Amino acid sequence: MKMFTVALIAIVVVVVAVALRPRIARADLLKEGQIAPPFTTQMVTGETEAPVSLADFHGKKVILYFYPKDETSGCTKEACAFRDGYARYTNAGLVVLGCSVDSAEAHKDFIRKNGLPFPLLLDPGKKIATAYGAANGIPILGLDRRITYVIDENGKVLKVYPSVDPSTHAIEILNDLGVANAAPPAQAKPAPPTSN
């Protein structure tokens, strides 16, 4: 009888674990060469919000990185790494956009506390994350997974980073794109005055 009870408890535990396990409902990751899904949302830059769409960046390379949550240790480390290398990104003509399910107020706090110079996208309905295969990376908490896409000037996926080390990822992208030591763009010199 004791053996039967133990077996029954074990079966119940397995059934409950299977029934309560988080459901993973995520889209497939995009592949290199694929057209990046268009999106339109609000972006938070500093204390301001403004409408933005992927089409606004046509002609520029975009680094679109998805992260689980503002103010968590890994996400802060990743954002600060992008912040620390931001001059190199802008010198190379690259646009950096972060995206998570956090609110505008959470993004503003995150930007303020960490001095982030790049915009964070709002994605409350997870439409962007779902289109890019980042939704429900941590299903039990409903948070995005950590993925980065490099989108080329014509809107195609140039590079996919499905596995990210938050502390080294920002420099990894610069190295992969061959712009880790990008110098500032040359300033046009004014023409010398002409004498009549």
- Which pLDDT belongs to residue 19? 47
68 within 8 A of 100, measured Cβ to Cβ: yes
Compute how many other C-beta atoms are within 10 angstroms of the C-beta atom of residue 24. Answer: 10
Is 75 annotated as catalytic? yes
Compute how many other C-beta atoms are within 10 angstroms of the C-beta atom of residue 32. Answer: 12
- Helices marked H in 21-119 — which ranges? 73-84, 86-91, 104-114
Q: Which two tokens stand for residue 18?
A: 């299977």
- Which pLDDT belongs to residue 22? 44
Q: Which residues of the chain have pLDDT under 50?
A: 16, 18-26, 185-192, 194-196
- Which pLDDT belongs to residue 179? 83
Q: Which has the closest alpha carbon to 170: 66, 76, 78, 70? A: 78
Q: Where are the beta strands (DSSP E) in the chain?
A: 40-45, 48-53, 61-66, 94-100, 120-122, 147-151, 157-161
- Sheet containing strand 40-45, strands side by side: 48-53, 40-45, 120-122, 94-100, 61-66, 147-151, 157-161
In angstroms, the CA 75 to CA 132 distance is 18
46 within 8 A of 84, measured Cβ to Cβ: no
- For 124, residues 6+ apart whose C-beta sits below 8 A from its C-beta are 101, 103
- For 46, residues 6+ apart whose C-beta sits below 8 A from its C-beta are 108, 111, 112
Active-site residue, from 43, 63, 75, 151: 75
116 within 8 A of 83, measured Cβ to Cβ: yes
Measured between alpha carbons, how far is residue 24 from residues 126, 133, 163 in Å? 14, 11, 17
